[in-house]
């Protein structure tokens, strides 16, 4: 019985070590993919993309389908909180009236690993007809989307972290990292300060750390109504008066 229990314990430990090793290996694989993406990017492509985004007089409209759409939403949120007005527009909604939100002053930023997403390709001619510049983050530099964009950033990966090499994992990580890099570059170019960031992020622990002041917590002037008691007042009555006051204890 003891031997059987020991064997079970050893097998569990081996499985735990195996799971740990797998998680670490996958993290390293995704980190390595980001490193390779940095090496693949061409200076002229980055300069062209940043130039288009920096010159935008309106907003940056991000589009993507599936997992790329979720990454596009996060990039839009990051840009907006760091001084670059951006929104996410679902390609299907865009094809059914949502395109009305896109103006000639905007820039469209499309994300697609294959670069052949039907919904995005259908939008290309309509965006060009409005004179809207298109920046694409794609996993295939020879894809239709890459060739049709005004600026293209290579987000290709050797393989996904998925054991089947199917589920978007490494590819979405790289796309997100490139999006973050664009957002932070624009943030620096705009000269965003800590106060500017705080004005866009007033809530949560981060917002409180950046915006909360002593004056926000203190009461003064007419707000302070300290109850006053004399020396012959019982202690219990003094405590009762203090507890009724929301701003200060009783003054004797």
Lowest mean pLDDT among 17-21, 55-59, 180-184: 17-21
Confidence at residue 200, expressed as pLDDT on a 0 to 100 scale: 73
pLDDT tens per residue, range 39-68: 999 999 999 999 999 999 999 999 999 999
Confidence at residue 6, expressed as pLDDT on a 0 to 100 scale: 46
130 vs 201, more confident: 130
Confidence at residue 146, expressed as pLDDT on a 0 to 100 scale: 97
pLDDT tens per residue, range 209-237: 666 666 666 655 555 566 676 776 677 67
> What percentage of the chain reaches a pLDDT higher than 90?
67
pLDDT tens per residue, range 196-210: 777 777 766 656 666
Residue by residue, what is the 3-state secondary structure of the chain?
CHHHHHHHHHHHHHHHHHHHHHHHHHHHHHHHHHHHHHHHCCHHHHHHHHHHHHCCCCCEEEEECCHHHHHHHHHHHHHHHCCCCEEECCHHHHHCCHHHHCCCCCEEEEEECCCCCHHHHHHHHHHHHCCCCEEEEECCCCCHHHHHCCEEEECCCCCCCCCCCCCCCHHHHHHHHHHHHHHHHHHHHHCCCHHHHHHHCCCHHHHHHHHCCHHHHCCCHHHCCCCECCCCCCHHHHHHHHHHCCCCCCEC
Q: Report residue 18's pLDDT band, with 50, 70 and 90 as the boundaries.
A: confident
Determine phi and psi for 120, rounding to 5 degrees.
Answer: -75, -40
Confidence at residue 151, expressed as pLDDT on a 0 to 100 scale: 98
Average pLDDT, the chain: 86
Give CA 32 to chain center in angstroms.
21
Task: Spell out the domains of the chain, with CATH numbers in brackets.
Answer: 7-193 (3.40.50.10490)
pLDDT tens per residue, range 133-180: 999 999 999 999 999 999 999 999 999 999 999 999 999 999 999 999
pLDDT tens per residue, range 23-43: 999 999 999 999 999 999 999
């Amino acid at each position: 019985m003891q031997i059987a229990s020991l064997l079970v314990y050893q097998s569990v430990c081996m499985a735990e070590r195996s799971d740990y090793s797998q998680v670490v290996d996958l993290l390293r694989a995704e980190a390595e993919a980001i490193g390779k993406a940095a090496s693949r990017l061409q200076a002229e492509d980055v300069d062209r993309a940043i130039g288009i985004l920096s010159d935008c007089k309106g907003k940056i409209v991000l589009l993507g389908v599936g997992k790329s759409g979720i990454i596009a939403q996060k990039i839009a949120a990051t840009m907006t909180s760091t001084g670059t007005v951006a929104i996410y527009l679902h390609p299907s909604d865009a094809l059914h009236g949502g395109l009305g939100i896109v103006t000639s002053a905007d820039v469209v930023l499309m994300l697609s690993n294959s670069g052949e997403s039907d919904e995005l390709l259908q939008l290309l001619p309509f965006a060009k007809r409005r004179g809207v510049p298109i920046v694409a983050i794609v996993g295939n530099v020879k894809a239709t989307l890459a060739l049709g964009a005004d600026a293209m950033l290579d987000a290709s990966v050797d393989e996904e972290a998925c054991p089947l090499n199917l589920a978007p994992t490494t590819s979405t990580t790289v796309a997100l990292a490139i999006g973050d890099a664009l957002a932070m570059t624009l943030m620096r170019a705009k000269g965003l300060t800590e106060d500017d960031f705080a004005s866009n992020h007033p809530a949560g622990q981060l917002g409180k750390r950046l915006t909360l002041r002593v004056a926000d917590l203190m009461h003064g002037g007419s707000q302070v109504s300290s109850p006053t008691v004399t020396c012959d007042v019982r202690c219990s009555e003094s405590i009762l008066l203090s507890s009724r006051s929301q701003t200060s204890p009783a003054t004797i």
